[in-house]
Structure 1
Amino acid sequence: MAGQPVKRNYANATLDYLGARYMGVGSEVCSYTTQAVQIPMRDGINLEADFYSPELPDKDSPAGLIMIQCCYGRSAGISFINARIFAARGYQALFVSTRGTYGSGGTFDPGSNEQSDSQDIVVWMRQQAWYPGSFATLGPSYLGYSQWALLHDPPEDCVAAVIPVSPHDQASHAWNTDRASWSDMMSRPADEKGSFFSRLWHLPGLSFLRPVELEKAVEGLPLEASLQKYFGHRAPWLFEYLKHPDVEDSYWASRRHHISLERANIPILLVSGWYDTFTRQTIHQFRTLHERGVNPNLIIGPWTHVQGSGLHSMPEIMDFLAEHVAKTGEYNRSQVRVFVTGSEDWRSLPNWPPPSNPTVLYLQAQGGIGLTLPTQGARPSAFVFDPLDPTPSIGGNQMSGGGRVNDSVYADRMDVLVFTSEPVTADIEIMGCPFVHLMHESDPPFADLWVRLSEVDTDDISHNITEVYQALDPARDMSQPLKLTLQDCAHRFRVGTRVRLIVGGGFFPMYARSLGTAENRVSSDKAVPQRHTLTIAGGVSQLVLPVAAND
């Protein structure tokens, strides 16, 4: 079934013009029409979609077809960046609402149906008179996840993909508080969600504006019961996540698409941000594809999740589509482009990470860190993490409220350890993954560790660079050093700045806090403070920086 094509109105034309100008893309080449269509699935339900068709002279053909699957609706703000901006530059665009969302039939169960539904969309497209014989896929975040689901069994006529800030594996991002705010948005009726602008607080990246009631639910103990009281019968998937903490559980099988990285054989543009919640997965995608010789392109900017979704990379996306879909242009950028924080410039590279030399900085007594090996008599450093007054999550790789921030407040807290170097006397550029060796003990053994690398500038203000969070194995051998690998970064410590390492036992509310007991952390209300101790003597606790080989 299909409705009548509708010409673009003045309001959308104005939004298209202003949005494209903000993003720095070239001029429009045409207007377009929008046609409501229904796409049948193999189980009998229909997906609602809008088909965008460029209005071109009779002698001209569309530049190509782009397929987009979206769970966030098809309203003006969402459709602009994912469909309309391309239709106004000569592309056809099929903008499909995910199963169980915004008029599409069936039940929304995040991640479970995209693999089969995307294949059914392709079958339907091939039967349409307007189908040009090939297509590309596009879209950030959950829209990108849908692309990886399709590439589980890559269609021969899929010729390219643009995948910003997107996971291929839902299990590895099963639980943090972003999932609660995201689930709150996705579980509300479409009419309750209202217009795009009235729903801004629900959107990934802006959920720091979420209701106080939800914040209180996340803070409550037991966590599962507190969330259940807030959600009621909404968002049943959220509680399935909590019941299946093991990523190898069969529950996650349909939501993990590592096989797509082994099967995809098309040009792929990957976009991420140093402060995106999916950066680690995007870099893994690049490395796997690159090692296979697929030669994807990777862009990593100084961006959060929303910023990395295409807001700042649209010119590159347009050039990528021009070469691989329209066949009218050339994507003449290097395989890897990363923004180096600290020096605040872009760097072109043939691969990621580039060659580096490991440089060891030793944790020192009384909060120092540097090249000098501590004496055997250096006293241990310790702190206590209290789950009833948890260390707050400030900045970093959060989907909401993250990014590069002033994190100087940690230096005044008693529930973290802060190690700060003397001012560096020559620029130090790091590219890749820093890691730490920590001779660490916790009492009780049920504990988490959060480690952050920051820079203290010449005004004595600290800003975050990268970090890692790890729930520790209570059966670990505490006589052996613990190795934790921080997330990839590219940063230059300028002369006069200082290196800072922050070690804590929590990062709340981004991560569900350790309660310090053997009981399940989401179903228990028993909380025990945890004492963390780091051995400093002899240099057994250290930070290893990947200093760029040419630095």
Structure 2
Amino acid sequence: MSVLARLGGLLADAALGLPLRATAYTVERDVAVPMPDGVALLGDHYRPAAADGPLPVVLVRLPYGRAGVFAHAFAAPYARRGFQVFVQSTRGTFGSGGLFRPFTTEHEDGLATLAWLRARPWCDGRVAMTGASYFGHTQWAVAPYADPPLVSVSPHVTAAQVTRAFYEHGAPMVENALEWSVAIGRQEAGGLPGPLRPRLRARVQRALRALPLQAADTAAVGAPVPFWRDFTGHAAPGDPFWNVADHHGADLTRMPPVSMVTGWWDLFCAAQLADHARLRAAGVPVRITVGPWLHGDPAELRTALRDDVAWLGHHLHGAPAPQGLPVRLYLQRAGTWLESQSWPPPGSRPVAHHLRAGGRLTEEAEAGDAPPGRFTFDPADPTPTVGGPLLVRPGGQADNAAVEARDDVLVFTGPVLSRDVDVVGHVRARVHVRPEHEHADVFVRLCDVSPDGVSRNVVDGVRRLDPRTVPAADVTVGEDGVLAVDVELFPTAYRFRAGHRLRMQVAGGAFPRFARNPGTGEPFATATTGRPCRVEVHHDAAHPSRVELPVLG
């Protein structure tokens, strides 16, 4: 390794916030790994220059390439710390053979790669995996099934049930799906996943507004993208196409120790915290850090790398175990971190805030009759959304004034808070609705209204009503025909400050984050027309619509 390369590595470590290290290493490029079907996948092998004999391996499997920023951020930092690393391009990407059909081949290919690694004379049989987002998914596709087990995994900003990032309680998340489709559809032509250039982003937004949506990939990038066609073609409830990508039901007792990082505004946060709870219940040693980040924020990735260095050092090199409690949460609007043994942290109590007549939101429910609120959702002019847990910016918190001024959004506002209120845990709502059509959406958003009147979103959730899935555990039908719809909002750790107010929005959509519901029962991908849907929101004594907040302390 040249002096210039070592200097570059030290500068990269400084930028990543890592302790400076300069262990010399060698790199063997384009190592072919045969798959059972004859396809060869290419990888790069990083090995300490002074190593003699077999060593453990850190395996990273990703679809975004093995050079450039991905080598500098997800391979070289580990190699500089004396780890042996094997970085592999997944099927159909950057020289690897076959066709890239996201999420559908990582189980078989990952297990075949693991077996190949363990048979190499330079591997001592111990393998750990790490990586974020898609290459967090490649860990879930292998870890519960590896025999013998992996040493450790670090599946950051991802989920065992990865499709939750694209279908939220029945509502297709078209903005995230199309932006990612565009990114992967053009990456080998020089584009990288991440924020799209303004002109390309404008094309994506135009494509999302055109019908039918099935061809939005062609409208955005000029050619079909396999993932978009899979996403639009297999959105029906319970479609078995995605079973191979769903590891939610895997035997978690086979999992090795797990370290995870995510953000409150990361689209995987809710599913990842659910994974954490399931792992802990299965007796798996697991740690998680949740910061104030959007998916792929530099601070999120720097935190993941720092955690990985300590995690891998402990499990592969015998370094001391990471310090602190296993759950670390950033309390937003307080500027502090909370530590706990578990998620949700103990000490929270549920506090219900009820929708009331006159647009009020109070801890007291209506004691008698009250007229329902009404709005009409029109798919020709769908209710827009701002902010939220999007794949790329502009996500996070945003001013909701323009949305709340519309007549297809009901707004309920609480009194001025006399003290700080820390909401830490899962937020849930129950909304009693009578939609005109059996196909409709219920979107709920909790906001923080500052003393100057600006309403900023904190958490939200959606439930798509479909006669194929209603009634269900989260949708019950009353004798009067009113539906009691339970909506799971995103989890959070957030301080509503004294002098602020709580606000709850109820609407029939949040476009383009979620596909508009045409109200006709047609598949969202092929629908070309829609019909307006009038919705009543009931909040009287017999129908106590409310949001339930986990208040800490």
| TM-score, normalised with respect to structure 1 | 0.90
Does residue 1:42 correspond to 2:36, yes or no? yes
- Determine if the alignment matches structure 1 residue 337 to structure 2 residue 328: yes
**Equivalent residue letter for 1:72:** Y
Quote the offset at 1:53 in angstroms: 1.8
In structure 2, the residue corresponding to 1:159 is in which secondary structure? coil
Matches within 5 A, 1:128-207: 128-156=120-148, 158-174=150-166, 175-176=172-173, 177-188=175-186, 190=188, 192=189, 194=190, 199-200=191-192, 203-204=193-194
* C-alpha distance 530-540 of structure 1, shift in aligned 2 (>3 A): same
Answer whether contact 1:433 1:487 (CA < 8 A) is retained: yes
Residue in structure 2 matched with residue 279 of structure 1 by the alignment: 269
For 1:188, the aligned partner's letter is R
Following TM superposition, by how much is the alpha carbon of 1:208 offset from its aligned partner in structure 2, in angstroms?
7.2
Q: Distance in 2 between matches of 1:384 and 1:247?
A: 25
Report SS of the residue matched to 1:302.
Answer: strand
Structure 2 residue aligned with 1:83: 75
Q: 1:296 to 1:9 in 2, by over 3 A?
A: same
What's the counterpart of residue 299 of structure 1?
289
In structure 2, C-alpha distance between the alignment counterparts of 1:523 and 1:480, rounded to whole Å: 28
The question of 1:433 aligning with 2:431 is answered no
Larger deviation, residues 112-121 vs 246-255: 246-255
Q: Residues of 2 paired with 1:546 and 1:211: CA distance?
A: 37
Deviations 1:242-263 (A, max 9, x none): 2222353331221111244524
Q: Deviations over 1:437-489 (max 9, x none)?
A: 21212223321111111211233222222111111134553424222121211
Consecutive aligned runs of 4 or more in structure 1 exceeding 6 Å deviation: 60-63
1:485 and 2:491 correspond = no
| Residues 53 and 122, structure 2, Cα contact 8 Å, conserved in 1 | no
Partners in 2 of 1:499 and 1:68 — Cα distance? 43
Contact 2:262/2:291 (CA < 8 Å) preserved in 1? yes
1:161-196 Cα offsets, whole Å, 9 max, x none, are 111001222443344222222122223372x2x2xx
* Letter aligned with residue 255 of structure 1: A
Q: How far 1:277 moved relative to its partner? A: 0.9
CA separation in 2, counterparts of 1:146 and 1:242? Answer: 22
Query: Aligned AA for 1:496?
Result: G
Aligned positions of 1:4-15 closer than 5 A = 7=1, 10=4, 13=6, 15=8
Asked if 1 retains the 8 angstrom alpha-carbon contact of 2:449 and 2:503, the reply is yes
Code of the aligned partner of 2:44: D
Residue 263 to residue 228, structure 1, CA distance change in 2 (3 Å): farther
Matched, 1:288 2:278: yes
- What corresponds to 1:267 in structure 2? 257
Say what the alpha-carbon RMSD is for the aligned residues: 2.4
From 361, 386, 390, give the equivalent of 1:394. Answer: 386
Letter in 1 for 2:540: A
Q: Paired residue for 1:519? A: 522
Contact 1:361 1:370 in 2 (8 A): yes
Letter in structure 1 aligned against 2:525: V
Q: How many residues align?
A: 532
Cα drift, residue 123 of structure 1: 2.0
Write out per-residue CA displacement over residues 370-415 of structure 1, whole angstroms, 9 at most, x where no aligned residue. Answer: 1233353433222222212222231111112222333343332222
The alpha carbon displacement at 1:231 in A equals 5.9
Note closer, same or farther for the CA distance 1:257–1:321 as it changes in structure 2 (3 Å cut): same
Deviation (angstroms), 1:342: 2.3
Q: For residue 41 of structure 1, what is the amino acid of its counterpart?
A: M
Instruction: Name the structure 2 match of 1:65.
Output: 57
Q: Mark the CA change 1:450 to 1:499 in structure 2 (over 3 Å): closer, same or farther.
A: same
The alpha-carbon distance between structure 1 residues 145 and 207, as it changes in their structure 2 partners (threshold 3 A), is farther
- What is the TM-score normalised by the length of structure 2? 0.90
Aligned CA distance change for structure 1 residues 317 and 459 (closer, same or farther; 3 Å): farther
Provide the rounded CA distance (Å) in 1 between the counterparts of 2:10 and 2:138.
28
**In structure 2, do the counterparts of structure 1 residues 206 and 165 end up closer, same or farther at CA, with 3 Å as the change threshold?**
farther
Aligned residues with identical type, % of pairs: 29
Q: Tell me which residue corresponds to 1:542.
A: 546
Unpaired segments of 5 or more residues in structure 2?
A: 167-171, 472-476
SS in 2 for 1:146: helix
User: Is 1:456 aligned to 2:449, yes or no?
Assistant: yes
Query: Does structure 2 retain, via aligned residues, the 8 Å contact 1:273–1:279?
Result: yes
Spell out, residue by residue over 1:333-375, the C-alpha distance to the aligned partner (whole angstroms, 9 max, x if none).
2111111112221100010012322112111222221123335
Contact 1:218-1:227 at 8 Å conserved across structures: no
Taking the aligned partners of 1:221 and 1:280, their CA distance within structure 2 comes to 30
Task: Flag the 1:122–1:32 CA change in 2: closer, same or farther, 3 A.
Answer: same
1:419 paired residue number: 412
Contact persistence 2:409–2:507 (CA under 8 A): yes
1:252 aligns with 2:242: yes
Q: How far apart are 1:222 and its partner, in Å?
A: 1.7
